Structure 1
Amino acid sequence: MYKPNKLLRLALVVFSVLFLGVFLSFQSKENTSKQDAFVRNELLKTYKVFSEMDAIAEMFQSNQVSLKDLKTAVTKARLQYKRIEFYLAYHYPEYVKKHINGAPLLRLEFENAKSILEPEGLQVLDEMVFLDEALNANTVFGLTKRLKSKYLTLYDRLYEQSLPKEDIIDLMRLQLVRLYSLGLTGFDTPGSLNAIEEAQVSLEAMSILFEEIFSNKQTASYSETASLFNETIEYLKRNTNFETFDRLEFLKQNIDPLYRKLKAFHSKTSDKNLEYSSAWDSNSESIFDTNFLNPYSFTELSRSEDSEDLKALGKKLFYDTNISGQNNMSCATCHNPDKGFTDGLAKSMSNIQGKTVLRNSPTLLNAVYADRYFYDLRAYSLEQQAEHVIFNPSEFNTAYSAILEKLETSDKDYKQDFKKAFGKNAITRKNLSKALASYVLSLQSFNSEFDKYVRGESSNIDDNVKQGFNLFMGKANCVFYHKVFQI
């Protein structure tokens, strides 16, 4: 229970937020669109709830409220955030991951590899408040205060911003992926495991917005999509047990069909200058489509430059031992296709007989989608990753100039192959990198029997696979250690 001398403080917080809302409402334009009005209202409500949580955390610090009150405040804040997450995480995904709802893990500052940053945000609060028996009230208050401040920065930037209704569809579709891959797995709620209710309120908010924007289009597509929204929300209301929740059924019957249905309302002329536009392919029909992600946004190679001839050249180079300094190693030495493009060793062999390098070789399947490469994250792209292997004394132990000279004088028709892929005078360092990148980029594994089953291209799959998937995505907590991609 709140003690009387603290109720006034909480009341003042609420009053100040309400006053801010009234003030901003007068600042808004009279012709505000439905989507803008909805978003601004949710942005303001989120600020209000964050402010209340911050006030309660301060009261908890002074032993004026109970741990139960604090848990209620954190839960309320997370639920309200989930109503607007689709909007915030789309516009400023990195900022949101760092400051608003980042994982409760130490972070490496990319600009300074020696700088380790403490985690902050709603996930940290969820884990701390619901799991930490020796809860530090000062730490909690510091986190809520920082969260409120960081959110206010977003609020100031986004409140007056308008977004075409066609782009709202992109936000919603990506939120479906986020809710499924990070929410329903429990990764997003490590302490409370309140993932199902959070998914429900997020879908409810998107459903309201969808109906407000598109209700004038009384088409079969609109009715089917609105109905599917309702069915998805009802499924979550009926199935509230985190451990027994059938995530595969929910994916096939609700999430993926809703992702596909919403695509019909996407406009090809919508603004695509937002942060996710290059990495995610909005033309994908399924979350498990082969083209769900655009590989060319992760590499220096562009789609227009790539071709079957270039991939064939890259494959040829990949298996050629002559491009190494001692002519005894190729890329395939450590990335064997028969072993899933690894070598199956605890530490990979070096170019010196009987000696190894410091670490093992990761698979190259889907490697193009990595943000960074090597254990210390020193390479930013496939092309840069190859450079470190080429120059490493324990691996290829050579240089581009030596490789290019070999290719120029080779009896393997490399001149003709490069000319076919690029045109005349084509054997260059840059083109060598592009060829290797083209082949590695093609090593993708998005067409398995499971993928086909989820997409509806096959009607059945082994029961053990179904049970294994549900365990992996839920009760067994595998996602905490083998995280699916984060949107």
Structure 2
Amino acid sequence: MAKRDLRALMQPAAAGMFMKQFLRWALVCCAGVFLAYTLSALKVNKAPSDPWAAHCLSQFLSDARSFSTATSDLKTTVNDLSAGDTASLTHARQALLRCRLSYKKIEYFMEYFFAYPVNLYNRAPVHEIEEPYMEYQSPVGLQLIEDLLYGEDPFAQKQALQEQAAVVQSTAADIPASVYGFEATGVQVAESLSQELIRVMALGIAGYDAPVCKSGLPESAVALQSVKAVLAAKTAGEQNLYADSCMHYLDKAIVLLQASTGFDTFDRLSLLTDALLPAQEYLNRYCCQQYPGIGGEGAYNYNARHLFRPDALRQAAFDRLAQSDTAAGLVALGKLLFSDNRLSGDNTRSCATCHKPSLYFSDGLKGSPTIGNGGSTRRNAPSLLYSSYQYGQFLDARDASLEKQIYTVLQNPDEMHSRLDDVVRKLDNKTYRPLLRKAFSQAGKQITPAMIARAIAAYERSLSPFNSAFDRYINGDHNAMNVSQRRGFNLFMGKALCGTCHFAPLFNGTLPPLFNRTELEVLGTPDGGSLDKPVPDTDSGRFGIFPIEFYQYAFKTPTVRNAGETAPYMHNGSFTTLEDLIEFYNRGGGAGIGLEVPTQTLSPRKLNLSQAEIADLKSFMLALKDSL
């Protein structure tokens, strides 16, 4: 996550918790450094046997020393802050920007090979829980320094700034100790470059880790320069069409980024179509040529042309059953079951009752009707489109698979109110028996709940068309989106900061470049939708699954693909129009409209979007409508 403010941190209890975490971190860090130096006494720090990896390590160590120097400068300028001295504040902010730029030179290496220390340099300025181990992480690092330096009264935060600068400086100084005995291969270096390119396209240009100072564009240029330099070292003295073409488009992207006149007005769409996507296509071809099988079972498919192709992400990486959902008739069988009322206890409703295909697999209601009693569910029925590209089903992410979700819905007394054995009994008939047995190659065997759930899940996994006007545009049809929609995309990925939570290309909370976790956010959504007289919502969200303070009111970030067809919005259906929804974010979420939301992860800062910009954002979201 990238966003946020320090209200929770600045509260006494949370501040105490932060200091405990800080001290724990210091002890761990000291122990780690001691261990590293102990190991160094026992073995020689030999370079990787792969020449390219060896060169990469050498360059990394040189750039890491520069980063360490930059962190020392940052620490000095923070120490020199003097109340009312605007020059000292300017110097500290400039030092932060230099530090961030210096870090971007080594980001590709650090993120790939040393992911844990990255948290200390670039962790979001909010409290987070890292699942599945439920590890608590307090705010720390460069993003927190940014939030403090650009806050309402940075001088009053000098002590906190000094503590943070000291953490960053000391850990940066210890980077060389972390590479004792380091080994790497060429394929790992290639993967690190590919991941960095995705990181730039999906996060860097969107301002993900610098949303306040808005330095994402020059930082992205620096990151691309590192990618190009490392790739050039591999191909020095030889000609390779794929590598040469990739470097040509990287150069083009760097020039466009360096020529930018401002974060809010930059044309990201042209950057992608004219430079970054061609660069990625040629990098993918080069990687596959040099390292067949690169990527393994990861989410990103190196055989795809680029990130915005329908085959760019492998469903099997999100769900191991997805790779075997190709049995003859399985999806068709799931589609048939999806609309069968016999799945419900009283034979009055099916999955399609609340997830209507005609309404893009939602139902247009604030809460769906409950079965048998005339009530309504507490939460809005989310669209099932693209539901296979996430790591948690339901708005509180309580189920880890589509199959588990189906079992939950079937047995929920408010939704389907069935018993699994009863469902099997009702479907064990001349219509379904041969279809199920054919799909599962189990002639003569008994039908099971697992077979039914698997078939429906296979159908749900097929609901990812990737054929919207935006998809057509980004893949070469430049007549597919109008001028307003193109402006809207640039706002979405820029000034409006939508892309810092709704990550491209899925535009949901599944985080690039590894796409290995789906984020939850605390937005402070009001009950009833009023922005002028907001009423707090009482739905505790994921806190009901894990009663941890920072999960209070946390909900999964859904995709905004087809958002124009799936009103009302939010977990409680509070907002009936896209304009109201955008205005909620424009004002800074719940905290921005005056609610007390101490754990809010969305920044309470106003976006200052004009009515024309809101209209353009809406136009872009409408361009995400698929043809079903």
How many residues are matched? 462
- Are the aligned partners of 1:182 and 1:486 in contact in 2 as well (CA < 8 Å)? no
Q: Distance in 2 between matches of 1:414 and 1:155?
A: 63
Q: Distance in 1 between matches of 2:153 and 2:125?
A: 16
Paired AA for residue 112 in structure 2: Y
- Matched-pair identity in %: 27
How many angstroms does 1:194 deviate by?
Answer: 0.6
Which sits farther off after the overlay, 56-65 or 103-112?
A: 56-65
Q: Distance in 2 between matches of 1:428 and 1:149?
A: 58
Match of 2:457 in 1: 437
Match of 1:70 in 2: 92
Which sits farther off after the overlay, 464-473 or 141-150?
A: 141-150
Which sits farther off after the overlay, 221-230 or 289-298?
A: 221-230
Q: Distance in 2 between matches of 1:320 and 1:87?
A: 52
- Are the aligned partners of 1:313 and 1:418 in contact in 2 as well (CA < 8 Å)? yes
SS in structure 2 of the partner of residue 66 of structure 1? helix
How many angstroms does 1:362 deviate by?
Answer: 0.9
- Are the aligned partners of 1:322 and 1:328 in contact in 2 as well (CA < 8 Å)? yes
Among 241, 248, 258, the alignment partner of 2:269 is 248
Q: Distance in 2 between matches of 1:301 and 1:399?
A: 24
Closer/same/farther in 2, CA of residues 116 and 469 from structure 1, 3 Å limit: same
Among 303, 313, 328, the alignment partner of 2:348 is 328
Paired AA for residue 404 in structure 1: V
Structure 1 residues 20-61: Cα deviation after superposition (integer angstroms, max 9, x where no partner): 9xx999833496623333334324633663475267437735
Q: Distance in 1 between matches of 2:127 and 2:471?
A: 33
Among 268, 286, 304, the alignment partner of 1:284 is 304
Among 85, 92, 102, the alignment partner of 1:80 is 102
Which sits farther off after the overlay, 60-69 or 231-240?
A: 60-69
Closer/same/farther in 2, CA of residues 97 and 386 from structure 1, 3 Å limit: farther
Match of 1:57 in 2: 75
SS in structure 2 of the partner of residue 279 of structure 1? coil
How many angstroms does 1:472 deviate by?
Answer: 1.5
Match of 2:433 in 1: 415
Which sits farther off after the overlay, 443-452 or 356-365?
A: 443-452
Paired AA for residue 285 in structure 1: R
How many angstroms does 1:330 deviate by?
Answer: 1.2
Paired AA for residue 102 in structure 2: Q
Paired AA for residue 393 in structure 1: P
Matches within 5 A, 1:15-30: 27-29=45-47
Which sits farther off after the overlay, 64-73 or 125-134?
A: 64-73
TM-score between both structures, scaled by the size of structure 2:
0.67
Q: Distance in 2 between matches of 1:97 and 1:384?
A: 34
How many angstroms does 1:231 deviate by?
Answer: 1.8
Instruction: State whether structure 2 residue 134 is matched by structure 1 residue 110.
Output: no
SS in structure 2 of the partner of residue 108 of structure 1? strand
Which sits farther off after the overlay, 352-361 or 413-422?
A: 352-361
Q: Distance in 1 between matches of 2:349 and 2:176?
A: 55
- Are the aligned partners of 2:301 and 2:313 in contact in 1 as well (CA < 8 Å)? yes
Match of 1:182 in 2: 203
- Are the aligned partners of 2:121 and 2:141 in contact in 1 as well (CA < 8 Å)? yes
Q: Distance in 2 between matches of 1:171 and 1:32?
A: 15
Among 255, 264, 284, the alignment partner of 1:234 is 255
Q: Distance in 2 between matches of 1:325 and 1:200?
A: 58
Closer/same/farther in 2, CA of residues 391 and 145 from structure 1, 3 Å limit: farther
Match of 1:463 in 2: 483
- Are the aligned partners of 1:196 and 1:240 in contact in 2 as well (CA < 8 Å)? no
How many angstroms does 1:168 deviate by?
Answer: 2.9
Paired AA for residue 70 in structure 1: A
Among 365, 368, 377, the alignment partner of 2:388 is 368
Structure 1 residues 307-363: Cα deviation after superposition (integer angstroms, max 9, x where no partner): 351111111111111011121221111111111211111112211342011111111
SS in structure 2 of the partner of residue 187 of structure 1? coil
Which sits farther off after the overlay, 117-126 or 45-54?
A: 45-54
Match of 2:11 in 1: none
How many angstroms does 1:462 deviate by?
Answer: 1.6
Match of 1:265 in 2: 286
- Are the aligned partners of 1:96 and 1:102 in contact in 2 as well (CA < 8 Å)? no
Match of 2:139 in 1: 119
- Are the aligned partners of 1:166 and 1:265 in contact in 2 as well (CA < 8 Å)? no
- Are the aligned partners of 1:167 and 1:271 in contact in 2 as well (CA < 8 Å)? no
How many angstroms does 1:414 deviate by?
Answer: 1.0
Closer/same/farther in 2, CA of residues 92 and 34 from structure 1, 3 Å limit: closer
Closer/same/farther in 2, CA of residues 417 and 153 from structure 1, 3 Å limit: farther
Q: Distance in 2 between matches of 1:182 and 1:426?
A: 49
Matches within 5 A, 1:343-382: 343-382=363-402
Match of 2:150 in 1: 130
Q: Unaligned 5+ residue runs, structure 2?
A: 1-32, 505-509, 513-628
Task: Tell me how large the CA RMSD over aligned residues is.
Answer: 3.2
Among 190, 207, 216, the alignment partner of 1:169 is 190
Q: Distance in 2 between matches of 1:342 and 1:30?
A: 53
Match of 2:51 in 1: 33
Instruction: State whether structure 2 residue 503 is matched by structure 1 residue 486.
Output: no
SS in structure 1 of the partner of residue 150 of structure 2? helix
How many angstroms does 1:426 deviate by?
Answer: 5.7
Match of 1:11 in 2: none
Structure 1 residues 191-238: Cα deviation after superposition (integer angstroms, max 9, x where no partner): 210111101111111111111101233133333222222222112122
Closer/same/farther in 2, CA of residues 277 and 69 from structure 1, 3 Å limit: farther
Structure 1 residues 99-137: Cα deviation after superposition (integer angstroms, max 9, x where no partner): 442333432343477x86433333232232233424522
Paired AA for residue 229 in structure 1: L
Among 180, 183, 191, the alignment partner of 2:212 is 191
How many angstroms does 1:365 deviate by?
Answer: 0.8
Paired AA for residue 475 in structure 2: R
Which sits farther off after the overlay, 144-153 or 376-385?
A: 144-153
Match of 2:474 in 1: 454
How many angstroms does 1:175 deviate by?
Answer: 1.7
